[in-house]
Amino acid sequence: MPLQLFNTLGRKQEEFIPLNPGVVGFYGCGPTVYNYAHIGNLRAYVTHDILVRLLRERGFRVNHVMNITDVGHLSGDNDSGEDKMVKSAAERGRTVLETAEFYTQAFFNDTDRINVIRPSVVCRATEHIDGMIALIKRIEERGYTYSSGGNLYFDISRFDRYGELALLRMDELKAGARTAVDENKRNSGDFVLWFTKSKFENQALVWDSPWGRGYPGWHIECSAMSIKYLGEQFDIHAGGIDHIPVHHTNEIAQSEGATGIHPWVRYWVHNEFLVMDKGKMSKSAGAFLTLQDLVEQGFDPLDYRYFLIGGHYRSQLQFSWDSLEGARNSRKSLMDRLRLLAETAGADNPHSPVSFDSPASSGSPAIKRLDAFNAALDDDISTPRALAELWGLLKDNAVPPADALRACLYMDRVLGLKLERALIGGGEEAPPELTAEIEDLVARRNAAKAAKDFAQADAIRNELSLRGIVLEDTKTGTVWRRAK
Ligand code: AMP
Ligand code: ZN
């Protein structure tokens, strides 16, 4: 069975077929960097990570683009409330850009620790204002906008397909107009493309535009940046389910409004929420747990990754310390079993290349397990079933230890649990003798990047990440470190 994904647009599971053979354009909404990511946000990024890894395993070259929201996001997604960045900067006595930089670094520190492969492109909203203005001009030229009270709005009543993604009904949206919070809006569902000082006198970051000095609405950044890096039509757009009715609905209206191309995005993938005993975890409400909180309670970030992939991304997942404890115990037994297997397998090096799909090995017990594992992932990314197959493999006495090890490492290319660590010295850290080999891989990745062979460069980064090595591209070159 080829890879199938549940597409929010149309609400059905479909075979994944990219626009251009062999290549996938993937956009995942990134963080608003006014605070630490909470563990619910990390669920979204682990979901993106598993999907990107899976697509790469299926042979696609994935261009993974993620935005960093450092301007324009108000506390209410529908243009109401305060500016999240401005408020946070004021509270911390820092500038907006300092605040953004601090939390962007903190974000990547967390995602590295939880073994999320960094996107191919990370784009900051404040560095793409020209592109947003250019896109808004196109939307305006096609007649979808109006000015009111100093702001430029998108008029949803002019866009016939408005609400298709979220199954919103235009008559209901119009009825909502009576309760509109912003009196400048003709319809409560209309949204701001460009704010001017008329709304926020103290806005820290403002730019000149054809509509006056001001700043962009939140939704336009994702349309402008995804189109810039992935083209006017692309394959997959991902985010949490909270984004379906407003943010993603508005992104579609803007992008298709500007280009006239439908569908702008072919597959919409949305993860369900991580919930606490007390309900939704929310950054703006201030009540949330970070990865560091878990670490301070003695958990390894990978315990949390294990906990997350134990649930299907489209089902709500309830966080509790007890279930995290359960995940830690399971991950520990997994690593112990792997260490035991490695001892039993002895000199038979699990890193030696083995073709699992060669005719000679088809029908072997390891291949059967791998087939079931792949089938689970191809069935709308069923990580719980995939994890069960990993366990099934480890408990299957019919599988020779060396085969089992190879199969586990192969499975881990998608699961990202750093199972490799069980084999290198038995500890959680890579031993120093691996240093030369790692440096050689880093040099090969740099050469691949210089030759613009990004698929190869990504493959090497993945390989290193499997060994618990994180790469950082700095101005003076690539440096590596062991993941914490
Ligand atoms: P934000 O930084 O608030 O824009 O959110 C970043 C990502 O996390 C978005 O894709 C959200 O949909 C997602 N998200 C927010 N809260 C949760 C949660 N409790 N569980 C899962 N995903 C979430
Ligand atoms: Zn977005």
Q: What is the pLDDT of residue 358?
A: 45
Determine which residue's CA is closest to atom 14 belonging to ligand 1.
41
Q: How far away, in angstroms, is 119 Cα from ligand 1 center?
A: 17
Which residue out of 8, 36, 41, 116 has the highest number of ligand 1 atoms within 8 Å of its CB and is therefore the one to mutate? 41
Which residue out of 42, 114, 242 has the highest number of ligand 1 atoms within 8 Å of its CB and is therefore the one to mutate? 242
Q: How far away, in angstroms, is 145 Cα from ligand 1 center?
A: 29
Determine which residue's CA is closest to atom 18 belonging to ligand 1.
40
Q: How far away, in angstroms, is 484 Cα from ligand 2 center?
A: 29
Which homologous superfamily is 16-271 in?
HUPs (3.40.50.620)
- 29 Cα nearest atom in ligand 1: 10
Q: How far away, in angstroms, is 176 Cα from ligand 2 center?
A: 24
Residues of the chain with CATH 3.40.50.620: 16-271
Q: What is the pLDDT of residue 432?
A: 46
Q: How far away, in angstroms, is 308 Cα from ligand 1 center?
A: 14
36 alpha carbon, closest ligand: 1
Q: How far away, in angstroms, is 58 Cα from ligand 1 center?
A: 27
- 242 Cα nearest atom in ligand 1: 12
Q: How far away, in angstroms, is 189 Cα from ligand 2 center?
A: 17
- 272 Cα nearest atom in ligand 1: 21
Determine which residue's CA is closest to atom 21 belonging to ligand 1.
273
Residues of the chain with CATH 1.20.120: 291-424
276 alpha carbon, closest ligand: 1
Determine which residue's CA is closest to atom 1 belonging to ligand 1.
31
Q: How far away, in angstroms, is 294 Cα from ligand 1 center?
A: 18
44 alpha carbon, closest ligand: 1
Which residues of the chain, if any, have pLDDT below 50?
A: 177-178, 352-360, 426-432
Tokens coding 466? 């499997």
Q: How far away, in angstroms, is 242 Cα from ligand 1 center?
A: 7
- 240 Cα nearest atom in ligand 1: 12
The class of domain 291-424 in CATH terms is mainly alpha
Determine which residue's CA is closest to atom 2 belonging to ligand 1.
31
Q: How far away, in angstroms, is 394 Cα from ligand 1 center?
A: 34
Q: How far away, in angstroms, is 264 Cα from ligand 2 center?
A: 14
Determine which residue's CA is closest to atom 19 belonging to ligand 1.
40
Q: What is the pLDDT of residue 38?
A: 96
Pocket of ligand 1 (CB under 6 A): 29, 31-32, 40-41, 43-44, 239-240, 242-243, 271, 273-274, 280-281, 283
- Residues in the 5 Å CB sphere of ion ligand 2: 29, 222
282 alpha carbon, closest ligand: 1
- 44 Cα nearest atom in ligand 1: 22
User: Dihedral sign, CA of 16, 18, 23, 27?
Assistant: negative
238 alpha carbon, closest ligand: 1
240 alpha carbon, closest ligand: 1
Q: What is the pLDDT of residue 352?
A: 47
